Structure 1
C-alpha cells in the first residue's frame, strides 16, 4: 500500500501496529474466556496477524500476556514522590489494587501466576521483566525516604517491600477480594509503624 505522500508505510510502524493488536487481542480473549482457553491461533485471528508473526516475537501465549500485563503495570502504576512515603505507598498500592481488580489485567495475570508453577522459562521472565524491576522501583523510593529521615537508617527495606506487597499477590493468586482503600491504609500504617518502632529487633 502507498500512502498519500507517495511512500510506503514504515515497516517499523506496521510491526508496532501488529504488536499492539496482538497484545490487545490476548488480553481481550483472556478476559472473555479465561487464561486456559486462550490459544495462539485465537490471538492471531483476533489481532489479524499470522501465527508466524506472533511466534517471531513471543515463544508462548504466556509470554504474549506477560508483555501485555507488564505494559499495563508500567503505564498505570507510577510511583509518586510527594515527599511523604506513607501517602505515596498508599497511592501506589491503590493503583495496583485497581489493576488486579480490572477485567483487563486481572484474569491475565492470575493465569500467568498459575502457569509459572509449570513453566520455568515463563517464571524467569515474570521475575526478570516484571517483578524485579517493580520491586526495585519501590525499594529506591523507600531508600529516598530513608535518606530524608522518614524511615530509620537501619530499617529492613527489602523485608518491608515484601510485607507491603505480598498480601496483594497472595489475594490475587488465590482469587480472594482485593483490599479496599481503608484496608490499604491500615496495611501501610502497620508496616510503617513496625519499621519505625524503636523496639524492633
Structure 2
C-alpha cells in the first residue's frame, strides 16, 4: 500500500495568501475601496473570512500588504532590485530616470487604484497612515536622501543642504498633482521638476 504524503500546509497557506492579495487588488480596482469588504475579498479568493482575520486585522492591512507585494514583484519582473536608485555619477539623469519609473507606476492601472485607496485611507485612519508611511513611503524617500548625500560627497550638491528637505522639491509636487488631479503627470513634467530643483529659478 502506497502511503500518501500529508498535505503541505505551508504551500496551501501561501496559495491562499496569494489568492487574497489578488482578490483585494482586483476588488479595489473594480468597486473602489469603500465598497471593498473583508467578506468580498474572502469570497473572491475562495477562502473563509476567518482565514483573512487570522492574518490581518482589517481590509486596509490586506490591501497594504498586497500592494507592497505587487510593487516588489513588478520591480523584480522589470529586472530591478526593489528600493534602488542608480548612481551613475550624473545626479540629474539618475533622478529623472527614477521619477520616470514612478510616473509609469502611477499610470499603471494595477497600481493606481490601490495606491490611491491607501493614500486616501491614510489621511482619515491614523494607523493605516503610519503603516503606509513606514512600509512604503519611508524606504523610498530614504533612497532619495542617500542619493543626494552621495551627490554632496561628490561636490554636485551644496554641502549645507538638508537632503530630506531638498527631495520635497520634486517628490511633493508630483504627489500633489497625482492625488488631486491638478494636471497630467508625464516624463516632461518630472524632468522639469528635477531641473527646477537642481538649478533653481534664477538666471544661469
Asked if structure 2 preserves the Cα contact closer than 8 Å seen for 1:116 and 1:123, the reply is yes
Q: Is it true that 1:102 corresponds to 2:100 in the alignment?
A: no
Residue 44 of structure 1 aligns with which residue? Answer: 42
Deviation (angstroms), 1:69: 2.1
| Deviations 1:131-181, CA, capped at 9 Å, x for gaps | 112111221122122212222211221111111111222122223444211
2:152 matches 1:163: no
Displacement after TM superposition at 1:9 (Å): 4.5
Counterpart CA distance in 1 for 2:178 and 2:189 is 15
Structure 1, residues 103-126: CA drift from partner, whole Å, max 9, x if none?
Answer: 111111111222122211111111
Gaps of 5+ in 1: none
State the partner residue of 1:20.
18
3-state SS of 1:117 partner: helix
Q: Over aligned residue pairs, what C-alpha RMSD do you find?
A: 2.2
**Counterpart of 1:61?**
59
Q: How far apart are the structure 1 equivalents of 2:180 and 2:128? A: 19
DSSP 3-state at the match of 1:149: coil
Q: TM-score, normalised by structure 2?
A: 0.84
Q: Normalized against structure 1, the TM-score is what? A: 0.85
Q: Is the 8 A contact 1:168 1:178 kept in 2?
A: no
Shift of 1:43: 0.9
Q: How far is 1:6 from its partner? A: 4.8
Unaligned runs of 5+ in 2: 76-81
Cα distance in 1, alignment partners of residues 134 and 24 from structure 2: 21
Structure 1 position 116 matched with structure 2 position 122? yes
- Aligned equivalents of 1:175 and 1:66: distance in 2? 23
1:97–1:178 CA contact under 8 A, matched in 2: no
Instruction: Report the CA distance shift for 1:71/1:143 in structure 2 as closer, same or farther (over 3 A).
Output: farther
- Other-structure match for 2:70: 72
| Structure 1 ranges of 4+ moved more than 4 A | none
Secondary structure of 1:37 counterpart: coil
Aligned to 1:192: 198
Aligned partners of 2:103 and 2:187 also within 8 Å? no
